[in-house]
Amino acid sequence: MDKHPSVMWRHFIKALPLTLVAMLLTAVTVLAASGTTDAPAAPGSTTSYTLEDIYQRLSNGTAGSQSTFTEPAVAPGTGTMHSLNDIYAVIPDAGSDVAGSDGSRTVDLPNGIYRSNTATCNDTDLVAENVKHGVTLFGVTGTYEGPGWNLYSITAEGSLISSISMLSATDGWAVGEGGRIYHFDGSTWSLHTTTPEGTSLLSISMLSATDGWAAGNWGHIYHYNGSSWNLDTTYPEASSIWSIDMLSATDGWAVGYYGYIYHFDGSTWSLHTTTPEGLPLISVSMLSATDGWASGTSGGIYHYDGTDWYLHTTAPEGTILQSITMRSATDGWAAGTSGRIYHYDGTDWYLHTTAPEGTTLQSIFMFSATDGWAVGFYGYIYHYDGSTWSLHTKVPGFIDLYAVDMLSASDGWAVGAYGRIYRYVD
């Protein structure tokens, strides 16, 4: 028997609230599933970071680990990871530093000249895309030498360095005040020894890693045998030996005060001659056993022909020629007071250039016929490009420079007062 219609309506009214609740729950579920929020990654992606990875990265710099993303079948339950609020709390303000130590790495770079401002390190975290805004990378140790002349070292003693002789990029020597002899090992200049006599050394000429010579005040000449420097000879009559130039282990020359010229024959140093004028000789440059040149005060330039030394010319300006360097029998240079630079063309010496600054030039070195350098007082450094001498730079502090030596067109050294050692890289 059918129920009465009024009874059926009452049952419908009672069931309606339950039906509406069920429909509303279904609608909420559908809305949550069909919104515009992006998934953390595409299903199956192998390059996904977790929220915990992101939190740790922001909080202390710990690198995350990429893993495969699997789309969950149901809503996630309560876990132990940090919440979105936690992550938001550790996000730095724009431009602020980020705490952390990720990317710390020690890298050994071989000795050499690096022409780039960057070094590539085998560290997957220390790459540009992993460096956050405002992060400062620090703790990099070493020496960067930008193009040009830069201060490389200051000796602990801070005393004048008068001469330098470089054998290679990893082996060099310098001498100076108080008998101090410095060695360069490819990275560091250090005091190798101090002569017992304490004689100020004015010139050094190295033949090899096991054979070198230095000379200075009181006519002292020292020899290096590969392990130690020892006094070899003393010529008190010379007062000072200003310059020494070794051609080989059996042939060398030294010049000094009162025009004394000494020769080494492989076993003994001996007085070869004295210039008739008796004028001090300051620099000597030998091309061969039968061809050499020396310069000194009053503009005197002397030539050796294999037998005798004789006055070849006198600079009309009376310039004190502090340095002379010969490239060949037809190409030589000398420099001295008042910024004057002279050139030899195989026949005559003539005034090539006068530096506008007028500073005394203490040393000149020609790497090639089209590449030369001269240094002098007040830190002036001049360069020759094959036709013109021009001011290249002036080191800060008015530091007097006494010697320059180039290993190549892009690698050279200069030394001077107060223990300063400069390096040129290009």
**Mean pLDDT rounded to a whole number for the chain:** 83
Give the domain-ending residue among 127, 144, 161.
Answer: 144
Which pairs with CB-CB distance under 8 Å and at least 24 residues apart come from 182-191?
182/155, 186/111, 187/111, 187/143, 188/153, 189/152, 189/153, 189/155, 189/421, 191/155, 191/156, 191/157
State pLDDT tens for residues 267-292.
999 999 999 888 899 999 999 999 99
Is residue 183 assigned to a domain? yes
CATH of the domain at 338: 2.130.10.10
Do residues 337 and 262 both lie within one domain? yes
Domain carrying residue 258? 148-425
State pLDDT tens for residues 331-370.
999 999 999 999 999 999 999 999 999 999 999 999 999 9
Do residues 123 and 167 both lie within one domain? no
Do residues 298 and 378 both lie within one domain? yes
The whole-angstrom separation of Cα 375 and Cα 382 is 6
Question: Are the C-beta atoms of residues 316 and 348 closer than 8 Å to each other?
Answer: no
Question: Are the C-beta atoms of residues 173 and 414 closer than 8 Å to each other?
Answer: no
Do residues 247 and 259 both lie within one domain? yes
Query: What domain count does the chain have?
Result: 2
Nearest of 175, 178, 149, 180 to residue 163 by alpha carbon = 175
Q: What is the mean pLDDT of residues 319-329?
A: 98
Backbone phi, psi, residue 216, to 5°: -170, -145
Is residue 380 assigned to a domain? yes
Note the pLDDT of residue 51.
Answer: 74
Do residues 131 and 196 both lie within one domain? no
Kindly indicate the confidence band of residue 117, based on its pLDDT and cuts at 50, 70 and 90: very low
Is 104's pLDDT higher than 90? no
Do residues 258 and 379 both lie within one domain? yes
CA 276 to chain centre: 47
Beta bridge pairs of residue 261: 255, 273
Structure tokens at 54: 């992101």
DSSP helix, strand, coil percent of the chain (3-state; round to 5): 15, 40, 40
- Greater confidence, 193 or 41? 193
Do residues 312 and 219 both lie within one domain? yes
Is residue 168 assigned to a domain? yes
Note the pLDDT of residue 26.
Answer: 44
Structure tokens at 266: 């492989």
Is residue 312 assigned to a domain? yes
Note the pLDDT of residue 207.
Answer: 99
Q: Average the pLDDT over each of 112-116, 203-207, 415-419 and give the range with the smallest value.
A: 112-116
Q: What is the pTM assigned to this prediction?
A: 0.68
Residues constituting the chain: 426
Is residue 328 assigned to a domain? yes
Do residues 60 and 191 both lie within one domain? no
State pLDDT tens for residues 85-97.
776 677 766 555 5
Do residues 138 and 258 both lie within one domain? no
Do residues 127 and 163 both lie within one domain? no
Note the pLDDT of residue 62.
Answer: 74
Do residues 126 and 215 both lie within one domain? no
